[in-house]
Amino acid sequence: MVGKEAPVESRRERKKRETRKRILRAAQRHFASVGYDASTVEMIAEAADISKPTLFNYFPSKLAILHTLMPAMDRHFAQAVDRSRARGGSTASQIRGFFDHIAGTALAAPPMARTLLLQFLRSYESPPEEREHQRFPLLQARMEQLLREGVEKGEVRRDMSPGRLYQYITGVYVYGMLNWLADPDFSVANELRLASRFIESALLEADGRKTPAR
């Protein structure tokens, strides 16, 4: 049986798709260089080489653009977890590798990191049905898988679910990021290294097990 051929994209559809991608690329560059709040719709439209009314034909607001970008950011962090898992080693070392990635990302593009952190915090003000895409569901799924693998290896406590452990881990690195958000001179890389050591002991201290001597 011959399968149906995919519909041919019209010239108009292609132009619309390319314009949408141009808007998103321009917005991401501005968010990364000056941050979300300092970026204006006018700046994004100019960088995308379109008019402001044309931009609004694609996105009703600057916030809608940011929400459209969030899944790509989620994939970025999920892939960082995948790379940590692929390198192998203990569960704690894999989490440490992910924390190092978070710190490196923040220091490479501080305005974008602040934008993502603030949007994560603002998501708590959103209706429940709007929160999931703002809270990195792919990252959560990958991290929970990493923790489940740790349970199977006997490296992660069994008295708490991977979902709850993920929430605690998130709280630890968000706390470090909040300190950096309040003080740009705060050493986020050092803070997250210390946090990963704490998480290592918290993951292992169950059923009488203790963190192994270094």
> Could you tell me the domains of the chain?
10-60 (1.10.10.60), 67-204 (1.10.357.10)
Q: What is the pLDDT of residues 87-139, one digit of tens each?
A: 999 999 999 999 999 899 888 888 888 888 888 777 767 666 555 555 689 99
Q: What's the mean per-residue pLDDT of the chain? A: 86
Q: What is the pLDDT of residues 20-42, one digit of tens each?
A: 999 999 999 999 899 899 999 99
What pLDDT is recorded for position 150?
94
What pLDDT is recorded for position 6?
59
What pLDDT is recorded for position 214?
38
- The amino acid occupying position 204 is L
